Amino acid sequence: MTYDEQTPVTIGDLVLDVRLLGPEDGEPVVLLHGFPENSSSWSGVAPLLAAAGLRVIAPDQRGYSPGARPVGVEAYTTDRLADDVVDLSDALGIGTFHLVGHDWGAAVSWVTAARHPDRLRTLTAVSVPHLAAYGAALKGDADQQQRASYIGLLRQPGKAEDLLLEDDARRLRAMYEGHVRPAQVDSYVAQLSAPGAMTAALSWYRAMRSDLGSLPPVTVPTTFVWSDQDAAIGRAAAARCGEFVDADFRFVELTGISHWIPEQNPEVLAGAILARVGA
């Protein structure tokens, strides 16, 4: 099986499309994509992890897989998204696993680590720091407040969908310009242009609650990877991440790299993941 192929995996009432790569008896590592991406965002990272002997599991998450688009914002809370991660591992017969997440996938990873520490071997969060660190920066750092101003728009039903998809998704495509291959962008746009897909993806934002900022510290060995050219996450939030990890913690800062780390610098990211995993 190649990374381009997807396997349907049923969890409850949902069917997730999942990419699997690497030896079946390898240590499992689950890769969670962000917005507005899908599991193909790991196409540069996954083969490197598989070559090191890991079993890579990369789902198109709730709202992104066509068979997992429930209607209603309440279906997209972070608790439900985190439960999906555990339910997916259960469905695949996996007990404990390494977890890696980028962007929204990182946010879900932090919640999973906080709620299900017994299931995680290690955590590698990419771009988005512990949610308490992010919340503190949102409250007290003017730079982070400015960087997060786009969230208000994405939480507006209808308006956000129209703005992102009109004119062949011109604004959506502009988000990746110069950082992600056009063919990769085309795949993201195509998936999010399907009926109901963009609304489902944006429901992650619309289901956010203020109590995410009170997420407790995580207790699993953790690496946080952040890039200094990230337009969404500033240094104030990134610098405080380690305060909310009560375990071995490593902060990997990339210079000259945008928010789209998995696509733009897969080799360095894979190296950070493997260093954390110990493979």
- Give per-residue pLDDT as tens, 136-164: 999 999 999 999 999 999 999 999 999 99
Q: What are phi and psi of 207, to 5 degrees?
A: -90, -5
Domain boundaries, the chain: 7-277
Nearest one of 277, 222, 229, 228 to 253, comparing CA atoms: 228
**Residue numbers of the chain with a pLDDT score lower than 70:** 279
What are the CA-CA distances from residue 222 to residues 46, 174, 181 (Å)? 19, 32, 29
Find tokens 């995580």 and name the residue. 218
Collect all residues with Cβ–Cβ distance below 8 Å to 64 and sequence separation of at least 6. 33, 38, 39, 191, 197, 200, 201
pLDDT at 279: 57
pLDDT at 3: 85
pLDDT at 211: 76
Q: What is the CATH T-level fold of the domain 7-277, as seen in this structure?
A: Rossmann fold (3.40.50)
CA atoms 123, 116, 218, 233: torsion sign: positive
Token pair belonging to 53: 């002997």
d(CA 49, CA 179): 22
